[in-house]
Amino acid sequence: MEDVRAYEELRVGFTAAVSHELRTPLARLLALLDSAALPGVDRDALLAQAREQVEEMSELVDDVLFLAELESGREVVSLGVTPALPVLEEVRNRLADSAERADVDVVVDAPPEVELPLRRRMLAIVAENLAANSIRYAGPGATLTLRARPGLLEAIDDGRGVDEVELARVFERFYRSDRARASRGTGLGLAIVKHVVASAGGQVEAAGGPGRGLRITCRFPAP
């Protein structure tokens, strides 16, 4: 009975959080549409901003659905092993444009022989969420290193960092610091990372501080 009550509280809280997170881009979208009706406005610019809000809502829905699949067990996380280097290089290439816009240099450090105990798709999801987090928040001029070693995957940046009191909360769903709230993001990326790593029997931790960058470490059990 206690388990059922706890699950129901979690479900209600999660639903409320999703509703809250969708409300902000929806309000912005409605304001943009209202502005488009005014004379003399730049409708092309308003349309571009409206598209950004729709993309933000779409990204949020995709992340929520993926997290739900993970929690229901429909997504298999660890099934064999995957060479890390090709996946990390693909992630770097896929995020090259956003990294260039953010002025963040992305470096891959992974010996060719290193394999990690995740399906290829899951490894790509973890690496992409780790990289996207640093690209979004590290700040201009930062360097992000995606580093893989046996049983270890890390995202290390030398950017502006995170307040130490916030380190323990970075893996919470929808958690974003006051500074991070000014940037686009669903607030689910690191929560997904933690869930995937935990589902593979591993652990994830964050370290760093203001002006000392951020290090996210994913540790996997020995085969």
Q: Tell me if 144 is assigned to some domain.
A: yes
CB atoms within 10 A of CB 168: 11
Considering the domain architecture, whether residues 107 and 173 belong to the same structural domain is answered as: yes
Same-domain check for residues 89 and 66: no
For the segment 114-133, the average pLDDT, to the nearest whole number, is 90
Going by C-alpha positions, the residue among 171, 148, 146, 32 that lies closest to residue 95 is 146
CATH number at residue 18: 1.10.287.130
**Does pLDDT of 171 surpass 90?**
no
Last-in-domain residue among 72, 92, 122:
72
- CA–CA separation, 208 and 163 (whole Å): 8
Confidence at 51, pLDDT banded by 50, 70, 90: confident
Average pLDDT of the chain to the nearest whole number: 79
Q: Which domain holds residue 156?
A: 82-219
DSSP states along 76-109: ---SS-EEHHHHHHHHHHHTHHHHHHHT-EEEEE
For 151, what's the count of Cα atoms within 13 Å in the CB-facing half-sphere?
A: 8
Residues 105 and 172 in one domain: yes
Residue 9: pLDDT band (50, 70, 90) is very low
| DSSP secondary structure code for residue 30 in this structure | H
Q: What are the pLDDT digits (tens) for 64-109?
A: 666 666 665 555 555 678 999 999 999 999 899 999 999 999 999 9
25 vs 16, residue with greater confidence: 25
When pLDDT is cut at 50, 70 and 90, the band that residue 43 belongs to is: confident
Residue 77 lies in a domain: no
Are 148 and 68 contained in the same domain? no
**pTM for this prediction:** 0.67
Contact 138, 213 (CB under 8 A): yes
> Domain count of the chain?
2
- Work out the pLDDT band at 173, boundaries 50, 70, 90: low
